Amino acid sequence: MNIVAPGLIDTQQPRHSSAGDCDQLIAGFTRYVDRIGQPEEVAADIAFLASSAASCVSGQIVEVDGGMSFIAAVEAGQRG
């Protein structure tokens, strides 16, 4: 079993929050990554994990977040 964990993806869902909240979320994300993710990018990872090409991939959490989870971990480590 594997898990795909998307970060900020360009869908209608984030736009349903108040405009200020959405803008703040996007600004924080794009501080490190030049764009937000696309649904097709998440779908491609899911398709890969469901394919025979990933037959030896097991027990993984694939974070499709443009590196945000890595950056957050590095920053947390720097703070001590």
Query: Please, what is the Cα angle at 28 between 61 and 69, to 5 degrees?
Result: 20
Residue 23, amino acid? D
Domain layout of the chain by residue ranges: 3-79
pLDDT in tens, 44-60: 999 999 999 999 999 99
Percentages (nearest 5) of helix, strand, coil residues in the chain: 50, 10, 35
Residue 70, amino acid? F
Asked whether the whole model's pTM tops 0.85, one would answer no
> What is the C-alpha to C-alpha distance for residues 7 and 39, in angstroms, rounded to an integer?
11
Q: Which residues contact 47 (CB under 8 A, 6 or more apart)?
A: none
pLDDT in tens, 14-40: 555 555 666 777 776 666 777 888 999
